């Protein structure tokens, strides 16, 4: 997606450890037109899969997942990182190690919003090590729903997360593929 790559070239910040900061337009401050374009792109890519729900994890996955759900006219469901007292039914739960925080994070999805009749599209901001996406896949499996696709706005190819998702046997789409970071700049894989 050319518009996204241009925004990444202009505004993304590269930190040591391969971290790409997109807070100025995607997950702290949001560029609404870019978010709308991202949602439309995912909707077009996954239209034939007929998802009934879009699933992500709070917080940075919510913007692209919401834009996708809006474009597809299906509900957005997000995994919470803390179980609220209002989650009265036993939730589906999975764990993953946070790439940016370094600790183990638990994800909770209320069972009342995800059932075996659902067709689930997972959308996140990054595909890097894939631990978050694998945890979301586990939640889908626990529910008995059908996983129909995985989308990420930005793929960090150098972290090889895509390979860890091979056993999911679903279509995986990313809108910008970063092959590597070189002298503080993003080098894209086309």
pLDDT in tens, 171-182: 999 999 999 999
Q: Using CB atoms within 10 A of its CB, is residue 54 exposed (0-12), middle (13-18) or buried (19+)?
A: buried
- Separation CA 48–CA 19 (nearest Å): 33
Residue 103: pLDDT band (50, 70, 90) is: confident
For the chain, the domains span 38-179
Structure tokens at 105: 């994070």
Mean pLDDT for the stretch of residues 156-184? 95
Q: Which single residue is written with the structure tokens 């600790």?
A: 103
Share of residues in the chain with pLDDT > 70 (%): 98
Max CA-CA distance within the chain? Answer: 50
pLDDT at 99: 63
Mean pLDDT for the stretch of residues 26-50? 97
User: Model confidence over 48-89: pLDDT tens digits?
Assistant: 999 999 999 998 999 999 999 999 999 999 999 988 888 888
Cα 41–Cα 42–Cα 45 angle in degrees, nearest 5: 90
What is the CATH code for 38-179? 3.40.50.2020
pLDDT at 90: 87
What is the CB-side half-sphere exposure of residue 46 using CA atoms within 13 A?
35
- Separation CA 24–CA 7 (nearest Å): 10
- Separation CA 47–CA 77 (nearest Å): 18
Structure tokens at 136: 């979301």
Nearest-Å Rg of the Cα atoms of the chain is 16
What is the CB-side half-sphere exposure of residue 24 using CA atoms within 13 A?
11
**Number of C-beta neighbours around residue 28 at 10 A:** 12
First to last CA, the chain: 10
């Amino acid at each position: 997606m050319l518009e996204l790559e241009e925004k990444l070239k202009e505004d993304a910040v590269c930190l040591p450890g391969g971290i790409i900061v997109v807070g100025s337009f995607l997950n702290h401050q949001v560029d609404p037109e870019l978010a709308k374009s991202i949602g439309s792109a995912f909707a077009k890519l996954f239209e034939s899969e007929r998802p009934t729900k879009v699933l992500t994890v709070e917080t940075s996955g919510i913007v692209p997942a919401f834009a996708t759900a809006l474009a597809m006219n299906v509900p957005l469901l997000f995994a919470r990182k803390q179980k609220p007292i209002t989650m009265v039914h036993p939730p589906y739960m999975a764990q993953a190690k946070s790439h940016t925080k370094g600790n183990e994070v638990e994800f909770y999805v209320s069972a009342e919003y995800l059932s075996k009749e659902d067709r689930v599209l997972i959308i996140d901001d990054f595909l890097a090590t894939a631990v978050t996406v694998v945890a979301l896949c586990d939640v889908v499996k626990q529910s008995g729903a059908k996983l129909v696709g995985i989308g990420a706005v930005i793929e960090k190819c150098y972290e090889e997360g895509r390979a860890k998702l091979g056993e999911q046997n679903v279509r995986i789409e990313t809108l910008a593929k970063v092959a590597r970071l070189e002298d503080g700049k993003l080098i894209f894989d086309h």
